[in-house]
Chain A
Amino acid sequence: MCWTLVCATLLLGGCGKRESLAEIGARTQELRLNNESEPSSIDPAVAIGTIEHNVMLALLEGLVTADAQDLSIQPGAAEKWDISPDGLIYTFHLRKNGRWSNGEPVTARDFLESYRRMLMPTMGSQYSYMLYPLKNAEAFNLGKITDFDRVGVKALDDDTLQLTLHDPTPCLLAMMIHDSWFPVPVRVIRKYGAIDDRTNPWTRPGNFVGNGPFVLKEWRMNSHILVEKSPTYWNMKQVRLNKIYFDPTESIDTAERMFRSRQLHSVPSAPPSKVAFYRKYKPDLINVYPLLATYFYKINVTRPPMNDKRVRQALAMAIDRRAITETIMRAGEEPAFYLTPPGTAGYTCQTKVKEDIAAARQLLAEAGYPGGKNFPTVEVLFNTLQYHKAIAEALQEMWKKNLNINVILHNEEWKVYLSSMHHLDYYMGRAGWNGDYVDPSTFLDMFVTGGGNNETGWSNAGYDRLIKEASNTGNRAARYAAYQKAERILMDEMPIIPLYFYTRPRLLQPQMRGWHPNVLDQYDFKSIYLVPETN
């Protein structure tokens, strides 16, 4: 049978040029998008990660949305909002024509119920902390109070939602574009089981109800998710796409081949080995842009000799970062001399790590290791991946050449590596961080004493105080001044070694229009459309 199939297809295949899926899609406004992996869930209280976020962005809409060009905050399910002069009370006015895909109106009560569900301790939501700026939200989430009326969320009437914060949080609106702030149809969820059940099947096609520009039609695991334009979306006139196929192909090589055979309109990441080729020979098919993400090494400051600040500084100073970005990464990455990506909501750290080999040698000598003498062999830990290995090898070589110290490399499988990092069972370990929202706090909050993602054993009372001070002030200049001081401490103490800021080498067919690059790599599916190619 297979042989017949082969022969038949070979014969058929020979007849004329086939119209590719990308070309068909351009005629019918059906976008085919590689989404890098199979989403684990599309329930905002369960999902984590950008893969899930991309699908939810098509299906649900929060109070505010982000403009895809500059990530400025735009009205979403809320038409407008007022902020009290002390910055503690946000009053959102919902649109009168907001509808769920089952035709019911979207009300302030829906948002309240969604936030309550997100914060229910029994829900075990990993992103519940995104709602912590709300008064008493943390206490409710940790089960210290059980009365949700005490949490700063009130539905004043069907169309008015009032949020009360415990501190003025200037980045609140920026945080609200995250899916943890999306509404969910709690009444519908209840129909399929307990609302705090992680495994509730309300997210299945046929069950799913959303308020976004698209509705869920099909979800075949590891094959595709299909969403179609929603007839009940308040702004449906602006939506030009009829369908979006989210393709879960995980292998970047396979995805790139699918792009080349014109099965996909866009692939978020070209294989690193092909970025240079595309940039040189097919520049119209690739767009390389910075992301809000940093690649760095964490240092376990509890282990000698890494407990000596001078050793950490010496290691950070004896690296040629540009050599790493230009000879290993080669996708336009910028070397990082501090943690927070430059220009994050107008904030750029003023303290830079110096690359100075003589000074590094001097520091190492002061720490008791002149010329690298007697320096114990330390280990670099990374999760098994080719480019992590290449970077670690480069660093190993630089440290040997510049400081005459020996570093050995140790790779571990992903979950083992996570466990080692978490239990401080390492000397130096590779790390990466993607900002959840555009604000320096999403990077700098990480290194407060005892922070879940600190994982360096580093603790500094001055740093903690500055981070607290920044989050308590509504004045942007004062906040950023506090962050500058905090990051200066971080770059002096060096519990981390920043290496580079990530970029996105995205492949795009020329038919794709209305898409804009941004640091969160956030899609605006309302604006994207396709045009058939003329030639």
Chain B
Amino acid sequence: MFRFIARRFLETIPVLFVIATATFFMMRLAPGGPFDSEKQVSPEVRARMEAHYGLDKPLFQQYLLQMNHLLHGNLGPSFKYPGRTVNEIIADAFPVSLELGGEALAVALVLGLGAGMIASLKQNSAWDHGPMGLAMMGLCVPTFVMGPLLISAFALHLNWFNAAGWFFPRDRVLPALTLGAFYAAYIARLARGGFLEVLNQDYIRTARAKGAGGGRILFKHAFRGGILPVVSFLGPAIAGLLTGSFVVETIFGIPGLGRYFVTAAFNRDYFMVMGSVLFYACFVVVLNLAADIVLVWLNPKLRFE
């Protein structure tokens, strides 16, 4: 297993290198620059600002410089927010996204696995059609509709929550539900499929014949096999959840990482773009690896090869 993990980490290095290189050149090829604004700055001022950030050097030299900085863990300064470094901005915003993502994940797992398992046990009954219908709706209703709907109902009409913000514990509820609902729906459908397949296996029938109860069959015998599709889905899904969602953060005014991912590109904040892309890439790589390890652990047919 150690060799498997070490090999996967080594494979990550060229992947990250390619991502960093592609990001660098794609960003520089995009028209417009970080210091373009509606009120034009004089060429002298622009030259000073570009010199300050080293943007006056030849492109390839800039590339080498930035790669060198990245190797040392230095993501560079933000153009949009002078005086702040990309490391600092990510360190500030990531815990918020992590918290929101964690809560949304909890919502997704509890609702999704619960609904999926019940549906698979009571196939083709109201217990199956009801939750699966809801799940279908959850998949179809985008977060930018779900968020304002929840706000309208629970914040503006019932006045139970604030409409947006990230100050009080209760501010977490609506964004976590909004973000979690989509994933819950997806997980519910995957879990139902996974469990149905396992529950039709011979060994489950044997267990039943031996008199095992529904709960025992589900959790003792079927669980590991049933959640396999969910685990494969969770690797990239968790990366997406924990690194922030632009839409949910915008709707609820949450100071998370997701919105930098988008606004940095609009602002041509080169170092911020590179920083957030690489951060996300690392996260995806690590979580995919974690998902693979869990899959092998859950499914003895697989090996660390």
Cβ of A77 to closest chain B Cβ, rounded Å: 25
Is A166 on the interface with B (CB-CB < 8 A)? no
- The answer to whether A221 touches B93, judged by C-beta atoms less than 8 angstroms apart, is yes
Residue in A closest to B172 when the chains form the complex, CB atoms: A5
Residue in A closest to B158 when the chains form the complex, CB atoms: A13
Q: Tell me whether A220 and B163 are in contact in the complex, defined as CB-CB below 8 angstroms, given that A13-B170, A416-B32 are known contacts.
A: no
Residue in A closest to B32 when the chains form the complex, CB atoms: A415
Is A222 on the interface with B (CB-CB < 8 A)? yes
Query: Inside 8 A of A1's CB, which chain B residues have their CB?
Result: 103, 106
Is B240 on the interface with A (CB-CB < 8 A)? no
- The answer to whether B81 touches A221, judged by C-beta atoms less than 8 angstroms apart, is yes
Partner-binding segment picked from B39-47, B63-71, B196-204, B273-281: B39-47
Residue in A closest to B147 when the chains form the complex, CB atoms: A254
Query: Inside 8 A of A419's CB, which chain B residues have their CB?
Result: 31-33, 36
> Which residues between 218 and 236 of chain A lie within 8 Å of chain B, taking CB atoms?
220-223
Q: Mark B130-165, 1 if CB is under 8 A from A, else 0.
A: 000000000000000000100100111011111111
Cβ of B265 to closest chain A Cβ, rounded Å: 9
Is B110 on the interface with A (CB-CB < 8 A)? yes
Q: Tell me whether A223 and B266 are in contact in the complex, defined as CB-CB below 8 angstroms, given that A122-B48, A257-B151, A422-B40 are known contacts.
A: no
- The answer to whether B259 touches A222, judged by C-beta atoms less than 8 angstroms apart, is yes
Is B255 on the interface with A (CB-CB < 8 A)? yes
Task: Name the contact of B39 in the complex, choosing from A126, A200, A204, A420 (C-beta under 8 A).
Answer: A126
Task: Name the contact of A2 in the complex, choosing from B81, B106, B162 (C-beta under 8 A).
Answer: B106
Q: Mark B86-129, 1 if CB is under 8 A from A, else 0.
A: 00010011000000000110110010000000000000000000
**Contact count band on A:** 35 or more
Interface size on B, residues (CB 8 A): 62
Task: Name the contact of B250 in the complex, choosing from A221, A254, A455 (C-beta under 8 A).
Answer: A254
- The answer to whether B250 touches A251, judged by C-beta atoms less than 8 angstroms apart, is yes
Q: Mark A414-430, 1 if CB is under 8 A from B, else 0.
A: 11111110100000000
Cβ of A36 to closest chain B Cβ, rounded Å: 12
Most B Cβ at <10 Å: residue of A247, A250, A261, A416: A261
- The answer to whether A40 touches B253, judged by C-beta atoms less than 8 angstroms apart, is no
- The answer to whether A121 touches B106, judged by C-beta atoms less than 8 angstroms apart, is no
Residue in A closest to B267 when the chains form the complex, CB atoms: A415
- The answer to whether B31 touches A420, judged by C-beta atoms less than 8 angstroms apart, is yes
Query: What would be 20 A-B contacts, judged by CB atoms less than 8 Å apart?
Result: A1-B106, A9-B160, A13-B170, A40-B81, A122-B48, A124-B45, A203-B83, A221-B89, A222-B255, A223-B255, A253-B251, A254-B251, A257-B164, A258-B162, A258-B253, A263-B164, A413-B32, A415-B32, A418-B32, A455-B40
Q: Which 4 residue pairs spanning A and B have beta carbons closest together?
A: A415-B32, A13-B160, A124-B48, A452-B40
A-binding residues in B (CB < 8 A): 30-33, 36-42, 44-45, 48-49, 52, 77, 80-84, 89, 92-93, 103-104, 106-107, 110, 148, 151, 154-156, 158-167, 169-170, 172-173, 176-177, 180, 250-253, 255-256, 259, 266-268
A223-B167, A249-B253, A415-B267 known; 7 other A-B pairs, CB under 8 Å? A6-B173, A9-B170, A221-B89, A222-B259, A257-B163, A415-B266, A416-B31
B-binding residues in A (CB < 8 A): 1-3, 5-6, 9-10, 12-14, 17-18, 21, 38, 40-41, 43, 46, 48, 121-126, 128-129, 141-143, 198-201, 203-204, 220-223, 247, 249-251, 253-254, 257-258, 260-261, 263, 413-420, 422, 432, 452-453, 455
